[in-house]
Amino acid sequence: MTFVNCRKLCKHSQGKDNILNIYELQGKEVIKMKKEKKRTYYGKIIDIPIKKKSYSCKGDKGCSCDSMCRDCGSQVSR
Amino acid sequence: MSGNLKWIQFKKDTFYIYKKYSEGIVYSPLQGKIFSVKGDIRSDINDFITSRGNIQNSFSTELKKSGMLDQMDLPKLPKLKSYKPNVVMLSLSNICNLRCRYCYVGDDNSVVQLPLETIKIIIDQLFQYATETSMDKVEICFHGTGEALTQWNKLVDTVNYALHKKTENTKIDFSLVTNGTLLNPERAEFLASHDFFVTLSMDGIESVQNEQRPQRDGSGSYRYAVNGIRYLVSSGVSFVVRSTVTGKSIHLMPKFVNLCAKLGCKQISFMPFSAIGRGAVGIDSIDPHLFIKSYLKSKKISKRKNIYLSMAGTDINKVNSYYCGAVGFNCVINPEGLISTCSRITKKSDQLAPIFIIGRVAERGFSITEEKRLRLSKLNVFSFQECRPCFAKYICAGGCPHDRLSFANENLEYWCEIVRNLIWYDLCELSQIV
């Protein structure tokens, strides 16, 4: 495993509890160091309704269309 | 949230998007799912990637819970069956009463008109296709090259001929793309009585509209466009206002939304201008970050005013492998009677005409070169190498194919920046992290 910013990570992790193995990028030596692992919070899982393709639409029904012409905004599908 | 947008793709269709490490969004466009994250999960993601997903940590648990680890089909490639379109976009002529500074049509003083006899052949062909494919609906869209309303009588004749030819079981939808300046109460009533959906191009408040969309004699078109909107509103015609944004008009977008609200508009579509045609020189370029800022401000106003504001290619509810029907579906007929799949091809001499023109209207109907049409299907997001790592690729589908080919893929950075950020802000709003 390679941490690209390992030097930066080392600097910020001094004196913390959890142990993390870091491979030096420019050498082969394995440095054992301490890093604080902060708690991660996950938000609610939200569904984004993916609209199904419709046969045809004038862009005014809020349905999903194949076409989105940048010049006229016409939203017609087959 | 300020700063540059960054993202890590850790699964084929799943991304961690963030502006600062400690706060971001896990997003799967194809699954249509997101969840926000507070805390630095880069090492968790790294572990997830290196273990090829075979790791147990809070991050992988959350992913599993969300359903993002489930298999998901990629958006389908354009399926080009035999060419039997049920929608045609007609350019009745190349005559326009305005001289918009950035018009993609460019400067051309010749006059070309699509004869009514050719239009009849087109409509006959349209209904024949509908019969052959058992389609119960066809659509006729009156589109640019020139301004459709300069050919009002021909438009009416076309509508009447189509209604005359229609069978009992076939429905016809009509739509119109117009600058609105030639509307009057009678014309608006006609559009209303035939249930037209109208796209009215207007760029902004008075100073912007007059500067960017002058009449042929150089005088302003603002009051005529505003009157056009008023006629549509009072006749009850459904319409969207389509606004081209240039470097000069960016900061006035919110004011334009307010104006539209006062006029009674319900839908606005903003789009940055393309540096093609007359717009290739002399138009102030778009600063993507100013555009994003102004668009978001406009969006807030539009929500308050109950207006639906959009920009093509940024709707997170739609995923696709191709941007528009230019990939081989569209049927755009220019005044010369040539059939192209892109409405920006207005004449045979256009630079990209050899690519998008797939046929012509012959005496007995459409004459199509299938081989050319099939080649267009390659204009899909899976063919665009530079789109591969992007989290927005299935939403914008690589953007306008005409733009891509015009600029040889080199001038897309500002488009990409705008699209990604608008999607990001929609995701932030959904997950309530802004």
Query: Given this model, what pLDDT does residue A57 score?
Result: 44
Report the candidate in B39, B151, B44, B143 with the shortest Cα–Cα distance to residue B95: B151
Q: What is the mean predicted confidence (pLDDT) over B260-268?
A: 96
- Sign of the torsion angle spanned by Cα atoms B299, B301, B303, B308: negative
Q: What is the pTM of this model?
A: 0.87
Give pLDDT tens digits for A23-72.
Answer: 333 344 444 444 555 688 899 999 998 875 443 444 443 333 445 677 66
Interchain contact A72–B (C-beta under 8 A):
yes
If you count residue pairs, one on A and one on B, with CB atoms under 8 Å apart, how many are there?
A: 150
Q: What are phi and psi for residue A5, nearest 5 degrees?
A: -100, 45
Interchain contact A48–B (C-beta under 8 A):
yes
Contact A73/B242, CB-based, under 8 Å?
yes
Q: How far does A28 lie from chain B, in Å, by closest CA? A: 20
* Mean pLDDT estimate for chain A: 52
Mapped onto helix, strand or coil, the DSSP state of residue A33 is strand
N-to-C CA span, chain B: 7
- The Cα B381–Cα B400 span in angstroms is 11
**Window A:17-36, CB contacts with B under 8 Å:** 20
Cα A24 to Cα A2, A9, A18, A63, B44: the distances in Å are 8, 11, 18, 53, 19
Contact B324/A67, CB-based, under 8 Å?
yes
Give pLDDT tens digits for B49-70.
Answer: 888 888 888 899 999 999 998 8
The Cβ-side half-sphere exposure at B185, using a 13 Å CA radius, reads 1
Residue B148 confidence class, pLDDT cut points 50, 70, 90: very high
Out of A47, A56, A64, closest to residue B318 by CB = A64
The identity of residue B393, as a single letter, is K
Give Dmax (Cα) for chain B: 71
Contact B323/A55, CB-based, under 8 Å?
no
Number of residues written out for chain A: 78
